[in-house]
Each structure stands twice: as structure tokens, then as C-alpha cells.
A and B are shown apart, each in its own frame.
Chain A
Amino acid sequence: MTTRLSGLGQLLRLAWRRDRIIVPASILGLVLLSVGSAQATLALYPDEQSAVEGLAGIVSNPAVLAMYGPINAANADALAVFKTVMMGSVLVAILALVVVRRHTRTEEEEGRLELVGAGAVGRWAPLAAGVLVALVAVVVPAVLSSAGLAALGMDPVGSVAFGVSWLTAGLAQIGVTAVAVQLAATTRGAGGLAFGFLGVSYILRAWADASDSDVVASLGWLSPLGWAGRVEPYGKDRLWVVLLGLAVLVVGIGAALAILERRDLGAGVLPGRVGRSRARAILSSPLGLVTRLATGTLVGWVVGLVVGGMVIGSLLGAVGTLVDDPTMRDFLTQLGGSAGTVEAIFLSTETKFIAALVAAAGIALVLRLGASERSGIGESVLATPTPRREWYGAHVLVGVVATTLFVTVAGLTVGIVGPMSSAGAPGLGSTLGAFLSTLPAIWLLVGTAALLVGWRPRFAPFAWAVLLVGFVIGELGPTLQLPDWVVDLSPFAHLSQLPGGDFAALAGGVMTAVAVGFVAAGGVAYRQRDAA
């Protein structure tokens, strides 16, 4: 036993050294999410009476229940954590997944584990190190959230129960991921299994929670995320549910160790997929290559946006009742800034969130140019008669076309599903128009990424900071009462207030022109600099 785990201390220190920013930052974010949103909600519903009225709109709406899980208690505390129980559980589970995976399969796939494993390191030690760091990442936010909620004056037992829901989801995901990283031989494969499990778990509980039938509702007990919801903080307070998560953790680690004892270093249990021996016609140009490499990502985003668009579209039916409250309406107006019907305000807000997500996808696609340079793979392409501007242009073009496609898909889905679920929802044309009107801001961010990667790939990750800061000051600037000139720096501050408002043609034109300028400048810089 000791030999299997020898070197664990060293590996733990190494793992913690690598995670010392990402894990504490995620924990902080999670605690802010639970405590901050509870505080804001409590301020919105100062007494039990208004809380019960607020709940009435939720309990009767299947779409909301499908998104956030069941709510059976009629008190302000339960309403205060209604959204964060499920959102937080999913986020905690993702954090657990990412942490376990990056210290186990990723290390193994990239060969670093071999380097470490040749030293005095036991076979179980890397998995143990990953699991222990993940436990920190799961337990600490749960405990801090419980303490924070109790400190707000909320019911102490219910606050512990809230922590228990997050903990249950996190512990189960650690167990599941521990097995996934043993089964698949690649980081992507392991991610597919573990994220797939999480997705199925979410859909199963969404179906169960939205259903009227008791039989279907009981199926929620088959899903770890269903367990998180069924703790019912500030209601039934089922603290024992944590045992289910603990059981999955123990069984998962047991299974992972059993596989670990039998498999070779670097191998998985599932067979690796075999490719074609000859290339299809698409692999004949830089653009074809970049497109082919991005295909999986493109399909994933389109599927995700169709599902997300359907949820947003079906929520439109609920919005009318959910946003009766004038305070909430005021808040939404500030966030979305749109005029018009409640549905239009809601849609305008969601449009901007989708736009930020799509911009992130576009930035990631363009930054692949820098990644290929870092890994050394771009050298093989640039050593052929491929002009640099074509290699650069292929990445930018894929980024621009993909974001345009994504926004169109989201707009069409919401525009078709929305009117089906609510008579007050904007029609297909105006919904699609609202989504498309965000494109100049997205292109501007994609152009920023192109400029940075073309000029100095070292600084390319700043494109993420531009997106994040731009989104926060653009969306929350008015709420936070920032000076106008600060807010105006954000591309998101110049979006058209659609549907319901006017198309801001000048702002759109200027942003598009700046985006084109950035792309051109990045291309010129890329031609001038060392590219290896």
C-alpha cells in the first residue's frame, strides 16, 4: 500500500502548485455565486408573503423546473438558493472533473507522467493526488457556502443542506471521472465520458423534475445531479443524501484502482479509434485543414446552441409570469436595456449572453493559430508553399464564419420555439434580427484575438480578458453606475436594443470596420515576425 502511494506528497505539492490559481479562484467564484445571489434575492423578497408569490410563478412552470430543479418549500430562504443549488452543483461537478482529469489522464497522455513515474512514484499516487486536490475543490466551496448562507441569517440546517447538495454532486463526479480517465486513453476521450455522464445526469433530472408523473419524478434519484436537487435545502433538508455521493466516490475510486492495476501506462481500456489511411479532398488547403480540425468543435457548438435556444425559447412562455415584479423588470431593463414587452426584455438579455458565449468560441478558434505555433505543428504547414497570410486568413475566416453560423442557429431556434411557447414572444424575423445584430461586437472580439495572435502570440490570451472585462462593464456597468466613458469602451455597450428597440447601424458599422482593421493589422504583423 505504501509503495503504491509513494511519492504522493511530492505529486500533491506539484499538483497544488499548478492549481494554486485556478482552484482558489473557482472556489471564490462559487462562494460568491451562492452567497451573493442569496443576498440579492433576499433583498428582492423582503418578507415571506412576497416570497410565496414569487414561488407561485416558479412551481407552476415546468421549463423553469427543468432548468433549476424542484422546489417544494414556500419560504424566502428556499427561493434565495433556488437557482444556485443546481447551477452550483453543475459547476462544482465540472471543477471536480477538470481537476481530476488534468492531473491524471492529461499528464499521462502528454508523457509527463512517464517522467514522474520513472522516479520513486507509486502506481496509485497520481490518481490519489488528483482526487485529493479535487476533494479540496469540492469540499471547500460547499463548506464556505454553508457558512456564508448561515451568516446571512438563513436557517442553519438548511444552509448545511445547501452545502450538502453541492458536495453530493462534486463527490459523485470525482468518482465518475476517476473511472473515465482509466477507461479512455486520451484526455478528450476521458472528457467525453465524464462530461457525457454529467450531461445525461442533467437531462434525466430535468425530465424528472419537470414531470407531473410520480414515476418519472422518482427517476431523478438515478442522477447525481438529481440527488443534489433532492436534498431540498430549506425544505426537507435531506442531509443523508451526501452518502449517495460518497458511495459513488468510493465505488468509483475502487473501480479506478482495479483498472489501474491491470492496464499499461498510457493505455486505456476502450480502444483508440482508427483513422483513414488516405486524406479526403478537404485536406488540400490551409482553409480545408483548419475547417477539418474545427469540425468537432463546430458540431458541438451547434448542438449546444440548439439545445440552449430551445430552453430560452420555451422559457419565454414563463417569463410573463416570472417577471411580473416591477423590481425584477427594472433589473432586467438595466441588464438588457431593451424597451418593449417583458418577453422582448428577456430575449434581449439572453441574446447578449449568447453573444458573449459565441465570441468566446470565435476567440478560441482564432487562437488555435497561436497554439499550433507553440506546439510546433504550424512549422510543418509554413514549410510548404503556403503563404503566411493564407494560414492566418484561414484561422480568422473560420472564426468569423463559425460565429456567424452559431448566432444564426441560436436566433433561428429561439425564433421558432419562442412563438410556439408564448403568444407574446417576438416573431422569427425580429428574434433572428436581434441575434444577428450582435455580430459586429463578436467580430470585433474575434478581430482583437486575430490582432494579438498575429502580432505577439504571447499576448494572445489577453483576448479572453478583453471579452470578460468588456462583457462585465457592458452588461453590469449601468447597474454598477460606472462612468459612461468606461461603459462605452465595451463592445457590448454598443449593441442594438433588439428586439423592441432600433438597430444601431452606425455603432455596428464602426465595430465591423474596426474589426476589419484589426484583422488586417494582425495579418501584416504576422508576416513581419518570426513564426517558429
Chain B
Amino acid sequence: MTDAITVSGLRKTFGRTVALDGLDLTVREGEVHGFLGPNGSGKTTTLRILLGLLRADGGSATVLGRDPWAESTSLHRSLAYVPGDVVLWPTLSGGETIDLLGRLRGGLDEARRRRLVERFELDETKKGKAYSKGNRQKVALIAALASDAPVLLLDEPTAGLDPLMEQTFQAELHALRERGRTVLLSSHILSEVERACERVSIVRSGRVVDSGSLAELRHLTRTSVQAELRDLPTTAEVEAWPGAHDVVVDGTSLRLTADPEQLGGIVSALASRGVLALTSQPPTLEELFLARYRDVPEPEPEEQPV
């Protein structure tokens, strides 16, 4: 499998603010890649560099083997983009905007356009200024999804969508994956990424702190275990077991988190004490995320770029 997007050591500063501080990112062709991070962590800046709207101060980025700054025009024939903060022309209707963006991109699929407008329940005749945030988002999404671009860059595309429309978006994302398109999905909504993405990169203060498939990332994070035991040990006893952390003994039940490689030993230790009930849960993405943010010390707070 080849890589659709490769980024290494990317740096970008706005005045004294460091937006990207040596960011590395690899997106394989045909995958839906989650780009996770809180507000201000550098997701949008990365996407804008990949679009050639911003010029990187250092490092390199290629999209489909091309330099986004030098070859932005030809590259854009293969890209569709949904900006994080969708602004529409106040005097153009939603339908006109979809057509315009489609034509500028070199045409759009009429049948798909019609289907998307129906599925997202968009009133195309409203003027840009009359749309709510969610509806503005739909206009940009339809314009991007109706194109035949092999690579889609989506910057927090579901912000403002209601839960039903989020479902529709998830279904469309699934269809994109079926068609073998590459999607870089920036988001801070973990459940969305967990459902849609094969691989994720977690970004923090302009650097990717972890990247891989969800299974790989989970492997590095402790599993939470909860057990009801006939013969309850003391907290100190359990803490002595290798790989056991965050131990809480409470009435008849025991809770702890286990290092994945030590999980076998812990389970047999539990079994020897008479298990009445046992639940073991792999870490949720949220826990993965929080773990990445707990481990690395928070750098000095920095000003947001204007």
C-alpha cells in the first residue's frame, strides 16, 4: 500500500506562536485516517499546509507525491476540502455554491449531488446568510462529497450537524472507504473517529504524539478490569501484583487497570481468589487520548494565532 500523504518534521510559526513543531504524519492510500487533537493543537494549520494555502517554515509535506505549495493548482484537481469554519457567500444560495465549487473543481457527479442533497435534507434555495451553522456545514460537505477527488481533507466536518445528520455523514464516510478514497478526518469528537477510522494520529501542541491503528494504540494503554471476588485481597496486596495500577477495593469488588502484557498474570491471580463476576474493557479512544495528554507535560500556554 502506498502513502497518499506524507508529512515529516513540519514546522510553522505565526509571529511568536509555534503552531507546528516538527509534525510527522502518514496517511495511506485508501484509508480513513483520524487526526485527533483539541482546539489549537495545529490540525487546521496542517490541513492548510497540505492545501498549499500556507507555506511551511520547515520540514516537508507531500500529497499524492506532489509538493502542495509548488503544485497546488494541479494537486487541487485531486483534492476536496471541507473547512473547519464554513463561510458561504451571503448572496449565493446553497445550490449555487455547491455548483460553483463543483465546477471550479472541474465538475461534479450530478446523480451523487442529487442524492446527497436529499440525504442531508438541504434546502438549496436558501441564501448563504440565511443558513444555520449546521446547514452551512452541509453545503460544504455535499460540495466535497459530490466530487470525484481521490483525497478528501475534512476539518471537523460534523461540527454543528445534528445526530441524525452525523449518522448520514458516517454512512457517506463508509461509502468513501468502500470506493477506496483517502480521507484525512480532523476531529476532536472521539466517538466519530473511533467509528470511522482505521488509523489515528493524536496531535498535541503541533506534534504528533502517537500514531497507528486503534488496536496498536490500545495495546500500549492499560485495560480496565473490574472483578467481584469471594476472597477479596487488600489494596496493598493487589498493588504488589506486576502490572496492576490504580487499585480500588470497595466492598466486594475490585477495580484496577492492567498493563496489557501482564493481563494474563493478573487474571490468574484473580481466578485463584474465586471470581464471582469479571469485566475487562479495552481502553476507549477517550482514555487513549487522555493518556497521551497525561503522559507528556503540558508546555507553556501559547497565544492563539490571529
Which secondary structure characterizes the binding site on chain A?
loop
Give the CA-CA distance A387 to B105 in the complex, in Å: 11
8 Å CB interface, B114-144 against A: 124-127, 129-130, 140
8 Å CB interface, A359-413 against B: 375-377, 379-388
**Residue in A274, A385, A532 whose CB lies within 8 Å of B74:** A385
Binds A, one of B25-33, B46-54, B288-296: B46-54
Q: Do residues A283 and B99 form an inter-chain contact, with CB atoms below 8 A? A: yes
A279 at the interface (CB under 8 A from B): yes
User: With A376-B85, A531-B53 as given contacts, are A275 and B104 in contact (CB-CB < 8 Å)?
Assistant: no
**Neighbouring A residues of B76 by C-beta, 8 Å:** 383-386
Q: Do residues A289 and B87 form an inter-chain contact, with CB atoms below 8 A? A: no
Give the CA-CA distance A367 to B102 in the complex, in Å: 25
**Neighbouring A residues of B103 by C-beta, 8 Å:** 279, 283-285
Q: Do residues B87 and A283 form an inter-chain contact, with CB atoms below 8 A? A: no
8 Å CB interface, B199-245 against A: none
Task: State the total of A-B contacts with C-beta under 8 angstroms.
Answer: 111
B88 at the interface (CB under 8 A from A): yes
8 Å CB interface, A262-309 against B: 272-280, 283-286, 289, 292-293, 296
**Residue in B77, B88, B92 whose CB lies within 8 Å of A385:** B77
Q: Do residues A382 and B77 form an inter-chain contact, with CB atoms below 8 A? A: no
Q: Do residues A274 and B125 form an inter-chain contact, with CB atoms below 8 A? A: yes
User: With A380-B101, A383-B81, A387-B73 as given contacts, are A277 and B87 in contact (CB-CB < 8 Å)?
Assistant: no
**Residue in B53, B54, B72, B93 whose CB lies within 8 Å of A277:** B93
**Residue in A279, A296, A528, A532 whose CB lies within 8 Å of B96:** A279
Q: Do residues B93 and A386 form an inter-chain contact, with CB atoms below 8 A? A: no
User: With A275-B126, A530-B55 as given contacts, are A384 and B104 in contact (CB-CB < 8 Å)?
Assistant: yes
Most buried by B among A276, A380, A386: A380
Minimum CB–CB distance from A111 to chain B (whole Å) comes to 9
A106 at the interface (CB under 8 A from B): no
Q: Do residues A283 and B100 form an inter-chain contact, with CB atoms below 8 A? A: yes
Give the CA-CA distance A386 to B125 in the complex, in Å: 26
**Neighbouring A residues of B105 by C-beta, 8 Å:** 384-385
B61 at the interface (CB under 8 A from A): no
A186 at the interface (CB under 8 A from B): yes
Q: Do residues B91 and A381 form an inter-chain contact, with CB atoms below 8 A? A: no
User: With A383-B51, A383-B79, A387-B73 as given contacts, are A186 and B99 in contact (CB-CB < 8 Å)?
Assistant: no
Q: Do residues A279 and B83 form an inter-chain contact, with CB atoms below 8 A? A: no
A107 at the interface (CB under 8 A from B): no
**Neighbouring A residues of B81 by C-beta, 8 Å:** 379-380, 383
Minimum CB–CB distance from A80 to chain B (whole Å) comes to 45
Minimum CB–CB distance from A207 to chain B (whole Å) comes to 33
**Residue in A375, A385, A387 whose CB lies within 8 Å of B106:** A385
Most buried by B among A285, A382, A384: A384
User: With A296-B91, A385-B105 as given contacts, are A278 and B96 in contact (CB-CB < 8 Å)?
Assistant: yes
**Neighbouring A residues of B97 by C-beta, 8 Å:** 279
**Neighbouring B residues of A19 by C-beta, 8 Å:** none
Give the CA-CA distance A289 to B54 in the complex, in Å: 23
8 Å CB interface, A229-278 against B: 272-278
User: With A275-B92, A285-B104, A376-B85 as given contacts, are A385 and B73 in contact (CB-CB < 8 Å)?
Assistant: yes
**Neighbouring B residues of A296 by C-beta, 8 Å:** 91
A155 at the interface (CB under 8 A from B): no
Give the CA-CA distance A377 to B97 in the complex, in Å: 11
**Neighbouring A residues of B96 by C-beta, 8 Å:** 275-276, 278-280, 283
Give the CA-CA distance A385 to B106 in the complex, in Å: 8
Q: Do residues A376 and B51 form an inter-chain contact, with CB atoms below 8 A? A: no
Q: Do residues B127 and A376 form an inter-chain contact, with CB atoms below 8 A? A: no
Minimum CB–CB distance from A375 to chain B (whole Å) comes to 5
Minimum CB–CB distance from B109 to chain A (whole Å) comes to 15
Q: Do residues B74 and A275 form an inter-chain contact, with CB atoms below 8 A? A: no
Q: Do residues A377 and B100 form an inter-chain contact, with CB atoms below 8 A? A: no
Most buried by B among A276, A285, A292, A379: A379
A109 at the interface (CB under 8 A from B): yes
Minimum CB–CB distance from B70 to chain A (whole Å) comes to 11
Give the CA-CA distance A532 to B155 in the complex, in Å: 14
Minimum CB–CB distance from A374 to chain B (whole Å) comes to 10
B37 at the interface (CB under 8 A from A): no
Minimum CB–CB distance from A212 to chain B (whole Å) comes to 45
**Neighbouring A residues of B100 by C-beta, 8 Å:** 279, 283-284, 289
Give the CA-CA distance A532 to B124 in the complex, in Å: 27
Minimum CB–CB distance from A307 to chain B (whole Å) comes to 24
B157 at the interface (CB under 8 A from A): no
**Neighbouring B residues of A283 by C-beta, 8 Å:** 92, 96, 99-100, 103
**Neighbouring B residues of A289 by C-beta, 8 Å:** 100
Give the CA-CA distance A280 to B97 in the complex, in Å: 11
Minimum CB–CB distance from B144 to chain A (whole Å) comes to 9
Instruction: List the A residue with the shortest CB-CB distance to B105.
Output: A384
Q: Do residues B54 and A275 form an inter-chain contact, with CB atoms below 8 A? A: no
Give the CA-CA distance A255 to B88 in the complex, in Å: 33
**Residue in B99, B130, B140 whose CB lies within 8 Å of A278:** B99
**Residue in B94, B106, B127 whose CB lies within 8 Å of A272:** B127
Minimum CB–CB distance from A265 to chain B (whole Å) comes to 13
Minimum CB–CB distance from B209 to chain A (whole Å) comes to 25
13 contacts between A and B (CB under 8 A): A272-B130, A275-B127, A277-B95, A278-B95, A279-B100, A285-B103, A376-B87, A379-B53, A385-B73, A385-B105, A528-B55, A532-B48, A532-B54
Q: A186-B129, A380-B81, A381-B101 are in contact. List 12 more A-B contacts (CB 8 A).
A: A275-B93, A277-B93, A376-B85, A376-B87, A384-B101, A384-B105, A385-B73, A385-B104, A386-B73, A388-B72, A529-B55, A530-B55
Top 4 A-B residue pairs of the complex, sorted by shortest distance between their CB atoms: A275-B93, A279-B99, A384-B104, A277-B95
